[in-house]
A and B are shown apart, each in its own frame.
Chain A
Amino acid sequence: METAIISGKGGTGKSCISAAFATLSKDVVLADCDVDAANLYILFNPANEEEQVYIAGQEAVIDYSLCNNCRLCMDYCRFEAISSSNGKTIISPILCEGCKLCSRICPVQAITMVDNDKSRMYSGIFRNGRMVYGRLAPGEENSGKLVNMVREKAKQVSKKYNLSTIIIDGPPGIGCPVISTITGVNRVVIVTEPTIPGLHDLKNAIEIAAKFNLKTYVIINKYDLNNDVADQIETYCINSNIKVIGKIPFDNIFVEAMVNCKTVIEWDPDSLISKEINSIWKSIIFFEK
């Protein structure tokens, strides 16, 4: 069973809630798919057993001992990545999308493709089960493919160790890494906050989940920050036929727990917040039956 936690807007509390879910039982696979800003390893400090290199696409590089400055590559490049400065042909690594066309058409074979190979995927043990996470090297792209790799690994681990619950902490937004995170999961939990920007982004997140026909639940975090907007969110969800599965009040306990490298469940299991998260997780599992 794969449960993906996403948010549309960043900073709604998605990772803290995913982490709390993961500490409600002893036998989970936790997959941190926010590969661009992976954070859960900070809380759980997993003992890594495996490290895998992830090739995040390629980049074109010119060998100046061969280049004759014919600039044919400039004509072919559609990403405006190749320019000419002081009689020298230059490829911008920022604009290059790694399509390899320049390397193919260069009449003197002066352009080669170099792998972006600094990103990694890790797999190991943490205190409540197994954990898989990806870390995209700064500035590297194709995070969606790294997300797929993390999910694939999480599924293997789940089979191998007979851990049926996979919890996926997803990235913010609605683009490629999010689509890779939710494609084919059993359910999506969207964590939102009662702000006008939060409501905006929630609508997009619901739309993207609907595109993939996924069972979707919503959690309103910090709901008492703005009761009016929280009501608007509830109305919107009712009209879209989506269940608001929990409302968590604004509380500094998430930060306190995080600073101590614990989830709220571990930090204060008897707190109001912990009880609410516990009942949310139970009802998610209940609705599945």
Chain B
Amino acid sequence: MRTVAIKNIKIAIASGKGGTGKTLVSTNLFYALMRKKIRVALVDCDAEAPNDMVFFDGHLMNSFNVEQKVPVIDENKCTFCSKCSKYCNYNAIFIIPPSKVIKVIDNLCHGCGACSVACDFDAVSEKDMVLGKVSQYSSSGLTSIIEARLKVGVLSPVPVIKAAVKEAGNNGVCILDSPPGTSCPFIQTVAGADYVILVTEPTPFGLSDLIQSVETLKTMNKKYGVIINRAGVGSSDVYEYLNKERIPVYIEIPFDRTIAEKYSKGEIVVKSRPELQAGLISMFNSIIMDEDNYP
């Protein structure tokens, strides 16, 4: 298949509030670009709730575990001096020297290696702990879907997200489906993006979370625009805010029960809604036309 040549660009689809339609936009943008024969990768960075693969048939190309080092303490060598525990900035080493008790709380450990550096008695070694998995699927030679999946019970998805974004590399257009919120998992995802699309809804909750996302992106010096989902419900406050901040609105997806029903079945909406296909493509064109949006 012939491909349309396009410069490498990474576009993150994000939102402060959950359930505004990030996955809807990510999967449909991916499909819309694929139809236009553009080389595109979709990275599902919502490692706590990865759902992009629900919408596609693809075969698994490869997958690998994302691991982190955690310390193992040799109690025969340990003198219970507490230096490792003092070095640990995450309170992951629990020690009661008089009772000769020392325990590593794996879930609090970030794998920084400070305890190994601290130990003067060679009592700290390390083992690998699985945090999650990165899987790469392919549906044709042109496209791939990379999924970050956090193992249930593990605290932080950040290393899994980092590994998935790295795996995507720099090859054509890359869509990063971001986790909700504005804390570390979100930051990690948008940090790697050249441009960010914020998906919001015209409700008080939507506006509050949108403002929080915009403030975060400003501190990161990112460029961004907005898609309003469920347009027609709620109030006009979101529009007034966007107008005041001069933030471009690319698409308004109407509040429409049939779209929600298609999504609920795991169907791609642009297949039956050409206006959404056109809207996504014209949004994509205006992003890639702007030279400022490249690194």
Q: Which residues of A contact B (CB under 8 A)?
A: 7-12, 15, 36-37, 39, 42-43, 58, 76, 78-79, 94-95, 97-101, 104-105, 136, 138-141, 143-144, 171-176, 178-179, 193-198, 200-201, 204, 207-208, 211, 222, 225-226, 228-229, 250, 252, 255, 258-259, 261
A37 touches B179 (CB 8 A): no
Please give, as numbers and ranges, the residues of chain B lying within 8 Å of A174 by CB-CB distance.
48-49, 150, 152
B17 touches A197 (CB 8 A): no
B49 touches A201 (CB 8 A): yes
B87 touches A37 (CB 8 A): no
List 14 A-B residue pairs with CB atoms under 8 Å apart, sorted by A's residue number: A36-B16, A36-B181, A37-B182, A95-B191, A99-B112, A101-B87, A101-B117, A104-B114, A138-B212, A172-B181, A173-B180, A175-B150, A197-B51, A226-B265
In terms of DSSP, what is the predominant structure of the interface of chain A?
A: loop
Instruction: Give B167-204 interface residues, CB cut-off 8 Å to A.
Output: 179-185, 187-188, 191, 203-204
Q: A11-B17, A36-B181, A179-B155 are in contact. Are A139 and B48 (CB under 8 A)?
A: no
Please give, as numbers and ranges, the residues of chain A lying within 8 Å of B157 by CB-CB distance.
173, 175
Name the distance in Å between B217's Cβ and chain A's nearest Cβ.
9
Pick from A39, A104, A105, A140: contact of B183, CB under 8 Å: A140
B265 touches A196 (CB 8 A): yes
Please give, as numbers and ranges, the residues of chain A lying within 8 Å of B143 by CB-CB distance.
none
Q: Once the chains are docked, how many angstroms separate the CA of A7 from the CA of B180?
A: 13
Please give, as numbers and ranges, the residues of chain A lying within 8 Å of B97 by CB-CB distance.
none
Instruction: Give B131-176 interface residues, CB cut-off 8 Å to A.
Output: 150, 152-157
A258 touches B19 (CB 8 A): no
Please give, as numbers and ranges, the residues of chain A lying within 8 Å of B234 by CB-CB distance.
255, 258-259
Pick from A141, A197, A252: contact of B49, CB under 8 Å: A197
Please give, as numbers and ranges, the residues of chain B lying within 8 Å of A179 by CB-CB distance.
153, 155
B54 touches A225 (CB 8 A): no
For residue B263, CB closer than 8 A to chain A, the reply is yes
Instruction: Give B91-136 interface residues, CB cut-off 8 Å to A.
Output: 110-114, 117
Name the distance in Å between B257's Cβ and chain A's nearest Cβ.
7
B89 touches A172 (CB 8 A): no
B90 touches A99 (CB 8 A): yes
A225 touches B89 (CB 8 A): no
Pick from B18, B235, B263: contact of A195, CB under 8 Å: B263
For residue B76, CB closer than 8 A to chain A, the reply is no
A225 touches B18 (CB 8 A): no
A252 touches B216 (CB 8 A): no
Chain A residue nearest to B153 in the complex (CB):
A211
Chain A residue nearest to B115 in the complex (CB):
A101
Q: A79-B112, A105-B117, A176-B155 are in contact. Are A58 and B150 (CB under 8 A)?
A: no
B181 touches A99 (CB 8 A): no
Please give, as numbers and ranges, the residues of chain A lying within 8 Å of B209 by CB-CB distance.
37, 39
Q: A10-B19, A104-B114 are in contact. Are A39 and B208 (CB under 8 A)?
A: yes
Name the distance in Å between A83's Cβ and chain B's nearest Cβ.
14
Instruction: Give B57-98 interface residues, CB cut-off 8 Å to A.
Output: 69, 87, 89-90
Chain B residue nearest to A99 in the complex (CB):
B112
Please give, as numbers and ranges, the residues of chain B lying within 8 Å of A78 by CB-CB distance.
69, 111-113
Q: Once the chains are docked, how many angstroms separate the CA of A42 from the CA of B207?
A: 11
Q: A37-B17, A259-B203 are in contact. Are A138 and B49 (CB under 8 A)?
A: no
B203 touches A225 (CB 8 A): no
For residue B23, CB closer than 8 A to chain A, the reply is yes
For residue B205, CB closer than 8 A to chain A, the reply is yes
B113 touches A172 (CB 8 A): no
For residue B256, CB closer than 8 A to chain A, the reply is no
A258 touches B183 (CB 8 A): no
Q: Once the chains are docked, how many angstroms separate the CA of A255 from the CA of B206?
A: 11
Name the distance in Å between B117's Cβ and chain A's nearest Cβ.
6
B90 touches A138 (CB 8 A): no
For residue B277, CB closer than 8 A to chain A, the reply is no
Please give, as numbers and ranges, the residues of chain A lying within 8 Å of B235 by CB-CB distance.
259
A42 touches B205 (CB 8 A): yes
For residue B233, CB closer than 8 A to chain A, the reply is yes
Please name 19 further chain A to chain B contacts, defined as beta carbons within 8 Å, in addition to the given A101-B112, A173-B157, A228-B265, sorted by A numbering: A10-B18, A10-B20, A15-B205, A39-B17, A78-B69, A95-B191, A101-B114, A141-B183, A141-B184, A172-B19, A172-B180, A175-B48, A193-B264, A195-B264, A197-B23, A197-B51, A225-B260, A226-B264, A252-B233
Closest 9 pairs (CB-CB, A-B): A11-B19, A10-B18, A99-B112, A173-B48, A138-B216, A36-B181, A197-B51, A176-B155, A226-B264
Name the distance in Å between B89's Cβ and chain A's nearest Cβ.
5
Please give, as numbers and ranges, the residues of chain B lying within 8 Å of A175 by CB-CB distance.
48, 150, 154-157, 185
A104 touches B261 (CB 8 A): no
